[in-house]
Amino acid sequence: MKNAITLNNVNVHLGGEWILRNLSFNVAFGEFMGIIGPNGAGKTTLLRVLLGMIQPQDGTVKVGGKNIKSAGSSLIGYVPQSRQIDPETPIQGRDFVSFGLPHKYRPWLTKQDRILVEEVLRLTDSEKYADKPLGKLSGGERQRLFLAQALLRDPRVLLLDEPTSNLDPGAQENLAAVVQRVNQERGISVVFVSHDVNLISKYAHQILYLTREKYVKGTVEDVMQPEVLTKLYGVPVEVMRSGAKFLMSSPNLMEPVTPICVHPHPEVS
Amino acid sequence: MFQYDFMQHAFVAGTVVAIMCGVIGVYVIARGVSFIAHMFSEIGFAGASFAMYMGWNPINGLLLFTTTSALAIGQLGTKVFRRDLSINVIISIFLGFGLLFLSLSTKNASNAFSILFGSVLSISTQQVWEVLGLSIGVLILLLIGFKMLTFDSFDPVGAEAAGLPVRVISITFLLILSIAVVGAVQIVGALLVFTLMTTPAAAARHLSQKVSRMILFSVLLAVIGLWLGLVIGYYTNLPVSFFITAIQGIFYFAALGWRNYHERIRIKESLDETSTKRAAS
């Protein structure tokens, strides 16, 4: 079976330095992959490579079995990292989502378009506030609308670049659960970048830990091992396991070696 | 009033330009390029003066200068020109050139006055056709690009993420804007382009949360303001541009007041609802 994403020995050189070195991994159709790593590790660069916005110096990138040579593949839905919304933005959520409809020139919406918009609003649990202006919504509500907009193109692969940053823990859980629902209901492969390893480990099938020097890839069970994480983070790390759930904490949080933000769990701290 | 050719010309040309400005103004505000629109009008003034000096039709000079500067800005990126300082320097330089060309040309000062403050009551049949051609061309281009332009203007990050050609859209929009400014200069003059280009759209932002309705309100306010300005100007024999700017200003502050009033009502309803729930529990 073809993979949704195949990276083979990808090397990316930007701004006078190597950002990605010999990176290889696959993401199967319907798989949920979490990517973690410190700031500047190349996580966003990796997503832009997958989108065709950055061409690697070496290596091959395939999405849905096809080589990615230019941006704009309809196979991919992307929720970018930085999307500052002016609180004065008067556009209502439903209108904002409909911007993502795949047609390019038709100035009006058909009945089919409206059905599609309602469908993605339902899938992302955003119908309740879709009539409110974007500027009046909370960060979590906006992120779900951004996700809904990306889903309008009916992608086979969904790339999310730190969608939970700046969200409170409740909103983070809600958003991750919505992404999981999209992954399960539509069979869309998900690549979810986050700093929160505990959140990722709860939802992802496999994890890619990325730094400029090295990367580790494996199932959640493979990566969520104290010795693996201690080596990656550079500080002693403990992992608690409860059934299929993992919880990472470090007793040495005051001296973080890598800039990863690890939130201590209330039950642990 | 309508028995006079000059009033017929003013109403026909003015209405089409108002519709065009009402539509494009929504995007000018959404993209944050209103000062670039203003800069185009000042550059256009220099272009029109240059055309007079060369003995050309002023509209050709306007188009030459504004479209060339649109391409230059498109190449450099609009972010550079959002800085006050860059815009101030460019406006000063081109106003200076405008003055130079005017003093070198043999035309009288009334031409300069009409470029700066508009001459809607003295436009010829030929000018009406020119303005109609420009405005309808701009509207057709906006209609063709509506979907992509709307996405890129209101959600540039999302548009880039969806693979839209954002750079092409940006340069094309600046070109369309530069042509639209030429049309607006004919009606309200270079110094008052803001009046039709951004004020109705700014008011419409307070009246609707949907892009299509925002455009509709913006067009309605621009057209109604222009008609009222023409009628009052005709009967009072005072400058039409003054009345158009004053009426658009009233529309803007009325829309702002309407938005604030509704916001207060919404907050009050929300507070009432909360206290009712608290009392019930």
What pLDDT score does A70 carry?
A: 64
Residues of B in contact with A107 (CB under 8 A): 143, 146-147
Q: Tokens 């009072």 label which residue?
A: B236
At B136, the pLDDT band (50, 70, 90 cuts) reads: very high
B9-13, B101-105, B191-195: which has the highest mean pLDDT?
B9-13
At B223, the pLDDT band (50, 70, 90 cuts) reads: very high
Interface contact flag, B154 A78, Cβ < 8 Å: no
A95-104, A147-156, A189-198, B215-224: which has the highest mean pLDDT?
B215-224
Phi, psi of B95 (to 5 degrees): -65, -40
Asked if the model's pLDDT at residue A255 lies above 50, the reply is no
Show the tokens assigned to A213.
Answer: 């020097």
Phi, psi of B217 (to 5 degrees): -65, -40
Element (H, E) at A25: strand A17-27
For residue B166, CA distances in Å to B85, B148, B150, B244 come to 26, 9, 11, 35
B127 touches chain A (CB under 8 A): no
Q: Looking at CA atoms only, how far is residue A88 from chain B in angstroms? A: 9
pTM value is: 0.82
Mutation to test the B interface, candidates A95, A96, A97, A101, most B Cβ within 10 Å: A95
Amino acid at B34: S
What pLDDT score does A209 carry?
A: 86
Mutation to test the B interface, candidates A69, A91, A145, A161, most B Cβ within 10 Å: A91
Interface contact flag, A99 B159, Cβ < 8 Å: yes
Asked if the model's pLDDT at residue B87 lies above 90, the reply is no
Q: CB within 8 A of B247, min separation 6: which ones? A: B224, B225, B228, B229
Pairing of strands A32-36, A189-193: parallel
- Determine contact, residues A238/A251, Cβ cutoff 8 Å: yes
Asked if the model's pLDDT at residue B83 lies above 80, the reply is no
Interface TM-score (ipTM) > 0.95 = no
C-alpha–C-alpha distance, residues A121 and A132, integer Å: 13
How many Cα neighbours within 13 Å face the side chain of B236? 12
Interface contact flag, A90 B146, Cβ < 8 Å: no
pLDDT in tens, B141-190: 999 999 999 999 998 888 888 888 888 998 899 999 999 988 888 888 88
Sort residue A187 into left (φ over 0), alpha (ψ -120 to 50) or beta. Answer: left
Tell me which of A22-31, A171-180, B67-76, B131-140 is least confident: B67-76
Q: Which of A83, A91, A103 sits opposite B157 (nearest CB)?
A: A83
Residues of B in contact with A91 (CB under 8 A): 154, 209-211
Q: CB within 8 A of B246, min separation 6: which ones? A: B229
- What mean pLDDT comes out for the span A102-129? 89
What pLDDT score does B153 carry?
A: 92
- Determine contact, residues B13/B186, Cβ cutoff 8 Å: yes
**First vs last Cα of chain A: how many Å apart?**
45
Element (H, E) at B25: helix B5-30
What pLDDT score does A213 carry?
A: 66
Asked if the model's pLDDT at residue A225 lies above 90, the reply is no
Asked if the model's pLDDT at residue B25 lies above 50, the reply is yes
Residue B141's closest chain A neighbor by CA?
A105
Average pLDDT of the residues of chain A: 82
C-alpha–C-alpha distance, residues A59 and A75, integer Å: 20
Residues of A in contact with B144 (CB under 8 A): 105
At B116, the pLDDT band (50, 70, 90 cuts) reads: confident
Q: How many CB atoms lie within 10 A of CB A40?
A: 12
Q: What is the percent of chain A with per-residue pLDDT over 90, rounded to a whole number?
A: 19
Residue A75's closest chain B neighbor by CA?
B162
Show the tokens assigned to B126.
Answer: 């030929």
